A and B are shown apart, each in its own frame.
Chain A
């Protein structure tokens, strides 16, 4: 498959104007677990030109029930596995990775070039730290967060809401990993909401 063949197909699939906008855009995904691994795959398939992937962790056996990894990935950094996987989907992407834990101290440096960030962390306090830090440091940044997608309850409870001027929250807002178990379908649905909001922000600008 040549670059020209790939571009020609995407021009047809998306329309030239849409494809150009997607290729020219850049999105960061913070966390490559159940949410982030699915978001990254969907954004790669959507031809987002530059993807910035951030995660500190390595793939574990316990990730296989709901994250986009394989047995062959176990023990390897999620950033590295995801880069390989995304380039198999779309070899013409520009992928930037940081295998690092995001903190209040490194947040400004890590996200200084971003205009759209998907928050895809696991722990509630980490989600809050990232969202607070990004919105305070970068007044024009758009943040799309995932909150409440555990269990196997009604999938229609998962929605996208604009809660602040530059902040969207996807999920049911309630179910956490402590009481209802972690299942693949609802986390994928929530990731789909986040990825779809990314496309809206890029294409409806």
Chain B
């Protein structure tokens, strides 16, 4: 799988929610695009990842 331009390996049957948790992302402060489409937060746990996926994960910081 590709995440923010880098090739990463994932376990089988891994949901997006599990992947994000495992890698320390705060799900309340990010947005995720999977294969060119935004993944709504409500679908993080049901969205199953595959090796062919391309993810872009954006992390927001406060201020503005």
Contacts and interface: CB of A to CB of B under 8 A. Distances in A.
Nearest to B30: A128
A179 to B, nearest CB: 10
Contacts, number: 84
B63 A177 contact: yes
B18 to A, nearest CB: 19
A80 interface: no
A122 interface: yes
A169 B36 CA distance: 16
Interface residues of B, number: 17
A187 interface: yes
Interface residues on A, range: 35 or more
Given A132-B40, A147-B60, A190-B64, 12 more contacts: A34-B64, A122-B62, A123-B62, A127-B60, A127-B62, A127-B64, A128-B60, A131-B58, A132-B38, A145-B60, A164-B33, A167-B58
Interface of A: 31, 33-36, 120-125, 127-128, 131-132, 135-136, 145-150, 163-165, 167, 169, 171, 173-178, 182, 187, 190
